[in-house]
Structure formats: C-alpha cells, structure tokens
Amino acid sequence: MLPRRSSGQRSRRTQPRSSSRANACESRLCELCAFAASSLIRSARPGASDHATTKALYAHDPDGLEFEVSWLVPADMIDDELLAARTRVLPLDLAAAKERFGARTRGGVGVSIPV
C-alpha cells in the first residue's frame, strides 16, 4: 500500500510527464539525424531501421533498457512505393531520407498530427 499524501502532494509515479511521443511526432528529420550523431546514441549500442513510412533509431539507456526515436513520413509524402516497402525492414540511410523528404520536414503530419 502506498503512503497517503496530502491533496497538494503528488507521488513520483503520478507526476505529469512531457509527451515524448508527441514531441517525437512533431520533430523534423534533421533532428533525428542530429540525435543519430550524438554521443548518447553512439555510446548506447545503437541500431537503425527504415520501415518505409517510419525511420527509427534504437539504443539502450544506461540501465540497459532499449528505446526508440523515430520520424514518421508525413501523410502527403506517402506514395504507393512507400506503402509497398512496409513489408520489409531495411538499414536506415538518413542521407537518402533527407534527400527524399527534406531535412526540415515535420514528421507525422496527417498521420499522428492533424493537418
């Protein structure tokens, strides 16, 4: 049983968190590239995958927990070629993704972020 708290006191478990999912969805492809180049990801046994409509980096935090940082292709840039490519996972080529989609393009627009 958790100890009782006064009405103005919050448990650490119920502290509001920033919405990392929303922040990730609103990110730009160049931010994923910067994260990939950061010392945090390089020292964390990284991985990277191209899931066609999602570009993802994987790493382990200092406690060994795996995490993912991803960028979603905006809905208006998803074409038949990308849809067909979702059946396979390829190595992530961030340079090619920046060339195709633009480094400053907001991710997830029309997918997880309303237009």
Question: 42: which residues sit within 8 A by CB, 6+ positions away?
Answer: none
pLDDT for 59-76, tens place per residue? 888 888 888 889 999 999
Q: Is the pTM of this model over 0.75?
A: no
Q: pLDDT category, 26, cuts 50, 70, 90?
A: low
Tokens 């972020």 belong to 113
Q: Structural domain boundaries of the chain?
A: 20-101
CA-to-CA dists, residue 37 to 23, 26, 66, 97, angstroms: 19, 20, 18, 15
Asked if 91 and 50 touch (Cβ cutoff 8 Å), the reply is: yes
pLDDT for 37-56, tens place per residue? 776 666 666 789 999 999 99
